[in-house]
Every structure is written in C-alpha cells, then in structure tokens.
Amino acid sequence: MSSSGHGVWKPVAQNVEFDALESNCNAVLAVAETVRTTLGPKGLDKLLIDQAMNRHVTNDGVTILLSLKTIHPVARMIVEIAERQEEMVGDGTTTAVVMAAEMIKEGKKFVKEMGVHPSKIVEGIDSGVKFACKLLENEAKKIGINDVELEQIVKTSLASKLDGQKLSPLVISAIRAVGENAVYDGKYDFMKAISVVRKANMQDSYVNGIVLERKRMDNEMPVEVKNAKIIICKLDLKPIKEAWITDSSKYDDITSMETDKIRKSKEIVNALLSTGANVILIASPEVDQVIENLLISNKILAVRISEDEIEQLVRYTGAKPVRMMDDLKQSTIIGSADRIFESEDQGLIYIENGSGKNVTTIIVSGATKETSLERWRATKDGVNAAEAALNNGVVAGGGAAELHLAKKVKDLRLKGLESVGLDVVISALESIMRQILTNAGFNGLEKVMEVKASPEGFGIDVDSGEPINMWEKGILDPLLVKTTALEAAGEISKSVLRIDKNLAAEELNAQAVYESKR
Ligand code: ADP
Ligand code: MG
C-alpha cells in the first residue's frame, strides 16, 4: 500500500510515483480486502473501533469502507463505488467492490506481465461489461409483489445479516401491506412508503401506519385522539421575538410586547382550531410558551416533528403543510387518521389508518445500540433488494447468474488485444461465487470449476458443498444489484488501469478540483 506504511500516502522520488499502476492496484486491493470476507451467507463481520474506543460490529460493505481512516487517493475510488451502489440500489456494495478488485487485479496482470497496452484492455472491459449486462437483462425474470420470489429475494439479501431470518418476515409483510401505494411514476419506491425505526429493548414488529420517535409536547395533552383531524404546521409560532427589545429599561415596550404576544398567540391558535383540527404536528422552529399553553388548555395533541418527517406524514394523512395563516382558510389542508396515540413507556407516537396513501413502519430492536444499528441497516438492505427486484427483475443468486455468463461473454470474440479486456470481465463474473464459497470454507476456485460444467442457474450449496439449482432453492438476487455493480466495477478499473504515474501536485487548479468533485 502506501510507502510510509501508515496509510499516509506519499509519492516517492521527486514527487512522481513512476510505477503508479503497481502502487494504485495494491492500494485498491488492500482496501477491497477489508470487505471481501463479509460477502455471502457465511461472510464474517468486522469490528470497527474508533480512536475513542467506540466499538461497532458490521457486515455491511459501505459502512466498513466509510469508516476507514486515511486512505490512498486511488483506493478512495473503491469507497466511492460502494457509496454509489448504496445510493443507486441500496444493496450489493460488497459485490461491487469484489468485482472491481478482480477487474483491477486481472487488468494489471495483462499490462505488467504481458505488456498489453491499457487502452486495449479498457476497450475490452467496456464491451464486456455492456454485453454481460445485456445478457443478464435477458435472463432476468420479472416478479410481482405476491410472488414467492419476493420472499426469496428478501431472505437471500438478509441471509448474511445478524438475525436475518427474524427480520425477513417483517420486511415482507411491510412491503405487501403498502403494495401499490408505493408505486410512483410506475416504479416501486419504498423509501416513500416504508420507514424503518430503531428502538432498543422492544420487540421487532411491523406496524401498519406511521410511528414517530417522539413524545407529545406536554404531558397534559391527551395521550390518544380518535378520529384525528390533523394539521401539519410550518407557521411561525413565535409571533414576537423577545430579542427585539434589547434595552430592559423600556418597561412600556416590554408590557406592550407581552400583551401583543398574547393577542397574536390567541389569533394563531384560534385560526388553527377553527379548522376543526384536534392534532397539530409542529415543524416550526420555535413555539411560544403562550401558544403551547393555549393548545394544552384546548386539549389539542401537539407533537413536534422534523422537516424530514413531513413528507411521509403528508402522504399518509392527506394533510398539507401550513406555511401561512391564509392557508388555514382552505379546508384541504386538514388531514385525518382513525387514531393517534402515544405509547408512554415506548416513547413512540403511533398514527393509524391515515386517509392518504398507505405507509408502514418496521420497528427493529437490538440488545445494544450497535446490534440495533446493524439490524436496522440489514432491514433497509432487504427493503432495497425487494424494490430493485420488483422494478427490474431477478436472477439466480450465489454468484450463479454471473458465473454462467462467462462462456457467452467469451463468445463475443473481440478482435485482437481487446479480447483480453473480456477476460478481465469474465474473471470478475466468476469472482462472486468464488468469494462466497471461499468465505464458506471451501476451495472457491475448485468449486467454481465444478459448477461451470453444470446447467445454467446452478451454484453450490454453502452448507453441503454440493451443486444446487439456485432457482429451485430460491436463492435469488435483484438484476439491478448485478448490473450496477458490473458497470461500476468496469468504470473504476478503467480509470485505475489508465493511470501510469501519480504526481504530487502543489495545488490542483480550482477547475480540476471542481470537476473531480462533481
Ligand atoms: P452485498 O454487500 O454484496 O449485498 P452480502 O454479504 O449481502 O453482500 O452477500 C450477497 C450475496 O450472497 C449475493 O450474491 C447472494 O446471492 C449471496 N447469498 C445469499 N444467500 C446465499 C446462499 N444461501 N447461498 C449462496 N449464496 C447466497
Ligand atoms: Mg447484501
């Protein structure tokens, strides 16, 4: 990796690193090494420890990579791949990293050992990745929300996670409960319809409705409101700011401000109540004590919420955020739900049977903060995998879909040296199954050879080591995980292979920095 050995990257000899390919590849591979052993159902966890000795156990590729401290600038691209995968699909980060590392390792071999010019390899990688993605797309099976494949996708995604078995039924129920309510512009978007809430010391559960990790504003307010008429309030609820009067000797001003404040507060509360609302969800930055008291005396259930919570509440209750007093004159701003209540010992507010689009919440528990965080992340992976599967279809899992493509990609037969680029892609296609099996304690390479002779869709059972049909066993992955990972791996390997020297620049010009951050 770095020449200093401390992760602080320093180019050697007159600020130029002549053998950049070697050093960049080593750096990338070293970083990939930190996550590759987590891949698959038998993948192991990593313990992250920070300087303050905080511990965190995780199996999640992107979490591990983001926690690495000093990192070689080129190896940082690996982290970016994982982040991109997380953003675009939300699952499959380790898969993307393993494929990228394999392409870089193989590509380097051709450049170094056989003297192939990087540009030839890069062209081959490009065609190989495009072709492989196309083949995968043709092979993918479309699935519907009530198909058994949806369950299999979620189970496969959660197979390697802490308590994956326990969490998958919750994910599946939550998805089926929202169903078509999560379709936006013709695609499932579960971010809009399913929340995952983390709460230690509670049973794992799934709730039809919204659960807010909040308490009501004051204990005097009602704990429960049935037939709730809801306002989501963004109004300024601090009509008079005390800070306006800086000179405390002006008694007259202060008293007139006080009366003004009471008058204005009453005006606001009256306007709110005249809509018929009995629940007010408050996203305003400040709330005047007078307003709060008026809400209490009017037996209103008021709850503070954050900006981020507004969107889902709007969707679920049909309320529209109130920004100005005039908005209160429109009857359409009110939302409704059958019941809103606070569970005082859980410290959660439940909103049930909203009149808008259906929303569900999965509550994941955990004995410690760390386990609940890891279980929360796993649950999200499961939801994301399901979304990708419903939107784009599924392929055989366990690395089987990729592995059986190898032969076909070989058939692409590019002319001349570009064909070595295809070999690079083929290695990456085979690397997933090999890594999953290596992690399961087998000789990965040997097992992969064995499966190559089996029909399409076949892989190896991670327990027995015997060949199995992945479709029959219900080990399935979303197509999108594979194509996004392949494309990202192709991109990064192309950039790494094309760099022949690393230069220590005094200062990059602003345009270059801007471009590289885009
Ligand atoms: P990623 O970060 O890439 O999602 P995971 O650790 O979640 O990594 O592993 C996902 C891989 O594990 C997928 O290729 C999936 O098909 C595979 N997998 C899950 N369960 C099994 C199983 N029972 N047998 C073989 N492979 C499995
Ligand atoms: Mg996964």
Q: How far is the CA of 35 from the centre of ligand 2 (A)?
A: 12
Q: What is the pLDDT of residue 517?
A: 63
Q: What is the pLDDT of residue 95?
A: 95
Q: How confident is the model at residue 339 (pLDDT cuts 50, 70, 90)?
A: very high
Q: What is the pLDDT of residue 348?
A: 94
Q: What is the pLDDT of residue 498?
A: 87
User: Residue written as tokens 């219900």?
Assistant: 474
pLDDT (tens digit, 9 = 90+) per residue, 427-485?
Answer: 999 999 999 999 999 999 999 999 999 999 999 999 999 999 999 999 999 999 999 99
Q: How confident is the model at residue 51 (pLDDT cuts 50, 70, 90)?
A: confident
User: Looking at the CA of 100, which ligand is closest?
Assistant: 1
* CB contact set of 430 (below 8 Å; sequence gap of 6+): 399, 402, 403, 406, 448
The arithmetic mean of pLDDT across residues 16-36, rounded, is 85
The arithmetic mean of pLDDT across residues 178-202, rounded, is 92
Task: Enter the tokens of residue 46.
Answer: 């990593």
Is residue 388's pLDDT more than 90?
yes
Q: What percentage of the chain has pLDDT greater than the value 90?
A: 68
* Single-letter code of the amino acid located at 294: L
User: Looking at the CA of 62, which ligand is closest?
Assistant: 1
Q: What is the pLDDT of residue 139?
A: 94
Q: How far is the CA of 25 from the centre of ligand 1 (A)?
A: 26
User: Looking at the CA of 35, which ligand is closest?
Assistant: 1
Mean pLDDT taken over the chain: 90
Which atom of ligand 1 is least distant from the CA of 473?
Answer: 23
Length of the chain: 518
Q: What is the pLDDT of residue 160?
A: 82
- Write the DSSP symbol of residue 170: H
- Write the DSSP symbol of residue 287: B
Q: What is the pLDDT of residue 161?
A: 86
Nearest residue by C-alpha to atom 1 in ligand 1: 92
Task: Enter the tokens of residue 175.
Answer: 């998805």
Determine contact, residues 265/290, Cβ cutoff 8 Å: yes
Strand intervals (E) in 317-434:
335-343, 348-354, 360-364, 394-396
Q: How confident is the model at residue 11 (pLDDT cuts 50, 70, 90)?
A: low
Determine contact, residues 391/421, Cβ cutoff 8 Å: no
The arithmetic mean of pLDDT across residues 77-105, rounded, is 93
Q: What is the pLDDT of residue 518?
A: 60
Q: What is the pLDDT of residue 200?
A: 81
Which atom of ligand 1 is least distant from the CA of 59?
Answer: 6
Query: Beta 279-282 vs 224-233: how paired, if at all?
Result: parallel
> Does residue 2 or residue 333 have the better pLDDT?
333
Backbone angles phi, psi at 414, to 5 degrees: -75, 155
Determine contact, residues 55/345, Cβ cutoff 8 Å: no
Q: Is 426 helix (H, G, I), strand (E, B) or coil?
A: helix
> Does residue 153 or residue 201 have the better pLDDT?
153
Per-residue DSSP letters for 415-446?
STTHHHHHHHHHHHHHHHHHHHHHHTTS-HHH
Task: Enter the tokens of residue 479.
Answer: 């197509």
Q: How far is the CA of 257 from the centre of ligand 2 (A)?
A: 59
Q: How confident is the model at residue 1 (pLDDT cuts 50, 70, 90)?
A: very low
Using CB distances shorter than 6 Å, the residues near ligand 1 are 38-41, 43, 61, 91-95, 156, 159-160, 397-399, 432, 436, 462, 475, 477
pTM: 0.86
* Pocket perturbation via mutation, ligand 1, pick of 78, 84, 102, 156 by most ligand atoms within 8 A of CB: 156
Task: Enter the tokens of residue 413.
Answer: 């037969």
Q: How confident is the model at residue 5 (pLDDT cuts 50, 70, 90)?
A: very low
Is residue 246's pLDDT more than 70?
no
